[in-house]
């Protein structure tokens, strides 16, 4: 039987930074402004239910010294530029573009992960943080669906997390690439579409149980590396 939330969840807010959100910025995501109010609502619900909220920020040193193959012509993500040009320089340390947008400004208690590449797991301590928190289910929001979200979902799945992509809370670089990424992620993780309304209902149930003092995280529906052996 499918369980939306297995064990303890965490909400991941991927790269809601000015360079991916503001118009005419290097990595502007298609229709990103439509998802921001929904993400804000999910963040509020997660906090009310005692669910950790983790923000990620892509960060690059000036001069493209850590851009890797993105600095090559014809590789990486075009972001609407000619395919034979390098990926546009973006989210550079010390520039306004690296900052998380005002609409979703993290609270001091929120957790942050800084990353250099697409996946939120690659070269970061995200996996250690999630294990320290006892997290089994990753609720995914953010940009870009066909880039950082996709690679994070793939790595999370291979690390045995129960990954849930809120499909109305992610945006891609183009409509075509967005839909292709959703199909890949859906087939890879749950086999079904999940929306913010589905997750809001589950979080509200968690909050209500916690208020009654009767909340106990559900057991995993199948063995995984987080499961404790039976006594």
Under 8 Å between Cβ of 134 and 8: yes
Is 110 among the residues known to form the active site? no
Residue 152's nearest CA partner among 129, 131, 121, 125 is: 121
- Catalytic pick from 19, 120, 148, 155? 148
Residue 131's nearest CA partner among 36, 226, 14 is: 226
Under 8 Å between Cβ of 45 and 204: yes
Distance (Å, whole) CA 47 – CA 106: 12
Is 228 among the residues known to form the active site? no
* Number of Cβ within a 10 Å radius of residue 131: 15
For tokens 């109305």, the residue is 168
Is 15 among the residues known to form the active site? yes
- Catalytic pick from 8, 15, 30, 120? 15
| Helix, strand, coil shares, percent, the chain, to 5 | 35, 20, 45
- Catalytic pick from 8, 115, 120, 168? 115
Catalytic residue list: 15, 115, 148
């Amino acid at each position: 039987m499918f369980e939306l939330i297995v064990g303890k969840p965490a909400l991941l807010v991927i790269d809601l930074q000015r360079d991916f959100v503001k118009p005419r910025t290097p990595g502007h995501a298609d229709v990103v402004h439509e998802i921001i109010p929904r993400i804000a609502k999910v963040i509020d619900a997660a906090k009310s239910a005692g669910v950790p909220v983790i923000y990620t920020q892509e960060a690059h040193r000036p001069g493209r010294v850590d851009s890797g193959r993105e600095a090559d012509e014809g590789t990486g993500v075009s972001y609407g530029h000619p395919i034979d040009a390098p990926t546009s320089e973006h989210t550079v340390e010390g520039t306004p573009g690296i900052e998380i947008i005002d609409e979703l400004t993290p609270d001091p208690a929120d957790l942050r992960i800084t990353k250099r590449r697409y996946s939120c797991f690659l070269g970061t301590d995200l996996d250690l943080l999630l294990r320290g928190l006892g997290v089994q289910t990753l609720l995914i929001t953010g940009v870009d669906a066909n880039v950082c979200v996709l690679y994070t979902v793939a790595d999370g799945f291979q690390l045995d997390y129960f990954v849930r992509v809120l499909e109305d809370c992610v945006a891609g670089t183009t409509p075509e690439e967005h839909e292709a990424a959703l199909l890949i992620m859906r087939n890879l993780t749950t086999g079904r579409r999940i929306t913010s309304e589905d997750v809001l209902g589950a979080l509200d149930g968690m909050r209500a149980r916690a208020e009654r003092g009767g909340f106990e995280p559900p057991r995993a529906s199948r063995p995984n590396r987080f499961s404790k052996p039976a006594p």
